[in-house]
């Protein structure tokens, strides 16, 4: 695409997708680690919240 030439004029533009992807991977791994380290008791009490409204 001829439009991409405008972008190549921006210095170091290729860094953007790389940054984006690494941020996501790091983010995703941290969230997963965090979620799986929550105790079972906590999880099941949170699950029940919609049923304790009275």
Distance CA 7, CA 14 (A): 9
SS3 state of residue 12: coil
19 binds another protein (CB under 8 A): yes
Q: Report how many residues bind another protein under the rule CB under 8 A.
A: 41
Distance CA 35, CA 49 (A): 18
CB of 41 to another protein, least distance (A): 8
Binding site for another protein (CB under 8 A): 1-4, 6-7, 9-10, 13-14, 16-17, 19-21, 23-24, 27-28, 31-32, 34-39, 41-54
């Amino acid at each position: 695409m001829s439009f991409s030439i405008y972008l190549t004029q921006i210095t170091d533009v290729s860094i953007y997708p790389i940054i984006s992807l690494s941020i996501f991977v790091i983010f995703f791994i941290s969230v997963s680690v965090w979620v799986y380290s929550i105790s079972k008791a906590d999880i099941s009490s949170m699950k029940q919240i919609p049923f304790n409204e009275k």
